[in-house]
Structure formats: structure tokens, C-alpha cells
């Protein structure tokens, strides 16, 4: 109705409109040959269009409306996105936020009218385009509002646990909160209070329950290709009960990593590391790099001690270190090899065929250890500097 459209416009909420009608309007002037409109949402004079290849924002300027901006965001430029359900009675809008590779471009934020747009279906459509562009994307139809009743979702997320059964989480993410793609499966899942953190076959999916009522739920997707670095940190001594997972994505404006604290003894830290390494690193690392032999330590313990105190790395035998890593901590992938290794005090920097791996021993006891992974694909530049003289 006209009143409903007026209320949505006042609240800044988009309503879904007939995509075919929008395609007919812009086919000749804007769309490429073979490009089609799958979804369209309208707010006042402005329209946001999801096509086969991009998100197109049509922004009408000025009183006359003759000045029109057409802003395109290709699906391939999307690094991460988050879909958020509407909250309680006074919260009428669901929300979609999209971060791109462009450091000068602010995140694209779209508010949807709660009862007119199925935010789960929009999320699935976008996930299909970003995670699996070759697969056909399911298209939500106008007027199919979603996520209005979140009571079942809240009942599921209200249980306290740590590492949980991935099969059970997958069933809930297909029925209670249908956000998974048809061929997507949950491989690892963790529950912290009301929140769920999953590693699926296609992405890192973080489910974050917000507010006192818990009716507003955010589903954040980070494709594995958008992860710039990650680290796992073991728990420390008797009074340190939490292990930790840190994930940095490639979004330029997001400086702080996604952090997940894991209860000691109730989550397999190295299985998480192995799963992430396999997804992020894959079968990278082509030809082996030329190996420099370890430097002789014939100068004696005094020189090694001074190097250690000065923070200088001493090259160690890569084959011996690789054997030690495979024997003690299951960090390396089956086809991953250690090529160069440097030791500084208790810490070790490892150059493998797939990544730069930094092992940082923390605290007096040395029980808290961080394993930081930087894929070579995330290295934008580097520098080496020769030593000076006395």
C-alpha cells in the first residue's frame, strides 16, 4: 500500500519490486548483452539491482531527477558480507552490509523492510554469486518476508557449548536459519554463548546474536580467498583456560581481526588450524625455492647467545624442524615442506612451500604458543637489509 511504502521510505528500508519490470527499464541503457536482473529493491526514487554479474545502485539526484548515478560493484570485487535479521517490534529493518576490495569505497549498506524481504534468501543468493559463481543462484521472490519469527533460532543459539557437532549445526542452518548453499557443508562448528562460528566447505560463517532480546542476528561471511592471515594460540598455564583463533581478512578498512576464544580442552586447536590452512592455502606453493644451507655455528655458544639477546635469527636445519613439527604439533599440510627456518630465542620463523609460519612462545612457562600464518599471496611487498659494520 501507499502508506506502507511511505513508512519504508521514512525508515530508509528497501522494498523488493518486480525484477523483470526493472530489467525492461534499464536493458537498453545500462545492462550488458546477456546480463539480466535477478533481484531489485526500491527506496523512493533509488533502486538497488542484483544482476547476473554485479550489484547496480541507481541513485537519482536533484529535484528534477535528471542527474542519475549508476554505481556498479562486481561480485568478484566483494571480499566479505554480513546479513542481519530485524530485531523486535520497533526494529522493522533487516540489513545487508558488503565490503569490497576498493579501499576508497565505503561498505555498501542496504536496509530491507522486514516483512517484505526474505533476508535469508538474499544472503543465499549473494553467497552463491561470491562463493560459487558458476552455480545457478536461487532468487527470492517479491513479498516473501523472512526471519520475522526468530524464536526457534534463539532456542538453538541459547545453549552453552564449545566445539559442537557440525552435522547438527548444518541441519539448523538449513531449516531454522536457511543460509547455506545447496552443496555447502559445515566441517567444524563452535558455540560460544548465543553465538556460532563455523568453517564450511566454502567460507568462514560467523553467527552473532545481538541485543538483550537476541532477535537481531548477524550472519557474516568471509570467503577463504578473502582471508589475509590467521593465527592459533594455545592456552597457557593453570589460570589461562582459553586458546585463541585470530583471522585477518583483506578488507582494507577492517584493521582488527576476528577473534574466537576457545575453552581449553574442549576444542581441537590444531584441527582448526589444519582446516583453515587447507582452505586458505590449498595446494599453493608451486616450484620449490632455492634453499640456503644453515650457517655454521662453529663460532661457539657465546656468539649464539649474543645473537639471541639481540633478537637476531639463527638459521636452523629445515628438514629437522619439519620432522619435529610433524611429530609434536600437526601444523603442516601433507604436501607442505619447510624450506628455510630461523630461530630467535624460543621463537621460530618458518618459510614453507605454502606460507610464512611464525611460532611465538609467550609467557614465563612457555605453554602459551601462537602459530601465525601469512600466505605468500597476502604479501604485497618486502625488503631485505644487509648488516652494517662496527
Q: How far apart are CA 146 and CA 155, in angstroms?
A: 18
pLDDT at 47 > cutoff 90: yes
- Whether the CB-CB separation of 42 and 26 falls below 8 Å is answered with no
- Whether the CB-CB separation of 36 and 2 falls below 8 Å is answered with no
pLDDT at 222 > cutoff 80: yes
Over residues 263-288, mean pLDDT: 76
Residue 355 belongs to what H/E stretch? strand 355-362
Residue ranges of domains in the chain: 1-129, 230-287+313-377
Over residues 140-153, mean pLDDT: 55
Confidence of residue 6 (pLDDT cuts 50, 70, 90): very low
CATH class of 230-287+313-377: mainly beta
In Å, how far from its chain's centre is CA 172?
20
Over residues 246-252, mean pLDDT: 89
pLDDT at 279 > cutoff 80: yes
Q: Which CATH architecture has domain 1-129?
A: Roll (2.30)
> What is the structure's pLDDT at 144?
53
The yes-or-no answer to whether 1-129 and 230-287+313-377 have a common fold is yes
Averaged pLDDT of the chain: 82
Confidence of residue 330 (pLDDT cuts 50, 70, 90): confident
Going from the C-alpha of 229 to that of each of 85, 199, 297, 357, the distances in angstroms are 29, 15, 33, 10
pLDDT at 329 > cutoff 50: yes
- Whether the CB-CB separation of 19 and 51 falls below 8 Å is answered with no
CA angle 116, 118, 120 (to 5 degrees): 160
Sheet strand arrangement including 46-51 = 15-17, 37-43, 46-51, 54-61, 67-74
**What pTM value is reported for the model?**
0.80
By percentage, how much of the chain surpasses pLDDT 70?
A: 77
pLDDT at 161 > cutoff 50: no
Q: How far apart are CA 308 and CA 310, in angstroms?
A: 5
Amino acid at each position: 500500500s501507499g502508506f506502507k511504502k511511505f513508512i519504508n521510505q521514512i525508515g530508509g528500508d528497501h522494498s523488493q519490486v518486480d525484477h523483470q519490470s526493472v530489467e525492461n527499464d534499464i536493458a537498453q541503457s545500462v545492462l550488458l548483452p546477456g546480463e539480466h536482473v535477478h533481484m531489485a529493491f526500491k527506496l523512493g526514487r533509488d533502486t538497488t539491482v542484483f544482476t547476473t554479474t554485479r550489484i547496480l545502485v541507481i541513485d537519482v539526484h536533484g529535484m528534477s531527477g535528471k542527474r542519475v548515478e549508476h554505481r556498479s560493484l562486481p561480485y568478484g570485487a566483494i571480499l566479505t558480507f554480513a546479513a542481519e535479521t530485524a530485531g523486535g517490534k520497533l526494529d522493522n529493518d533487516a540489513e545487508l552490509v558488503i565490503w569490497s576490495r576498493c579501499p576508497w569505497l565505503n561498505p555498501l549498506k542496504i536496509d530491507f523492510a522486514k516483512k517484505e524481504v526474505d533476508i535469508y534468501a538474499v544472503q543465499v543468493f549473494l553467497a552463491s554469486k561470491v562463493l560459487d559463481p558458476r552455480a545457478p543462484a536461487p532468487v527470492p521472490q517479491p513479498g516473501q518476508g523472512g526471519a520475522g519469527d526468530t524464536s526457534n533460532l534463539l532456542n538453538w543459539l541459547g545453549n552453552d557449548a564449545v566445539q559442537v557437532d557440525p552435522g547438527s549445526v548444518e541441519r539448523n542452518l538449513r531449516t531454522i536459519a536457511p543460509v547455506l548453499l545447496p552443496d555447502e557443508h559445515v566441517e567444524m562448528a563452535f558455540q560460544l554463548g548465543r553465538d556460532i562460528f563455523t568453517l564450511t566447505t566454502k567460507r568462514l560463517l560467523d553467527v552473532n546474536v545481538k541485543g538483550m532480546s537476541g532477535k537481531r542476528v548477524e550472519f557474516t561471511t568471509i570467503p577463504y580467498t578473502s582471508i589475509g592471515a590467521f593465527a592459533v594460540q594455545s592456552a597457557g598455564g593453570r589460570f589461562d583456560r582459553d586458546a585463541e583463533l585470530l583471522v585477518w581478512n583483506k578488507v582494507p578498512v577492517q584493521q582488527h581481526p576476528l577473534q574466537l576464544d576457545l575453552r581449553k580442552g574442549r576444542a581441537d586447536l590444531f584441527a582448526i588450524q589444519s582446516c583453515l590452512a587447507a582452505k586458505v592455502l590449498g595446494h599453493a606453493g608451486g616450484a620449490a625455492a632455492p634453499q640456503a644451507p644453515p650457517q655454521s655455528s662453529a663460532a661457539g655458544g657465546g656468539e649464539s647467545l649474543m645473537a639471541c639477546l639481540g633478537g637476531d635469527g639463527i638459521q636452523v636445519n629445515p628438514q629437522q624442524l619439519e620432522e619435529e613439527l610433524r611429530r609434536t604439533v600437526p601444523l603442516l599440510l601433507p604436501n607442505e615442506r619447510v624450506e628455510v627456518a630461523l630461530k630467535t630465542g624460543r621463537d621460530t620463523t618458518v618459510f614453507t612451500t605454502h606460507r610464512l609460519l611464525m611460532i611465538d612462545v609467550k609467557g614465563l612457562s612457555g605453554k602459551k604458543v601462537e602459530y601465525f600464518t601469512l600466505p605468500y599471496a597476502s604479501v604485497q611487498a618486502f625488503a631485505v637489509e644487509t648488516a652494517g659494520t662496527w
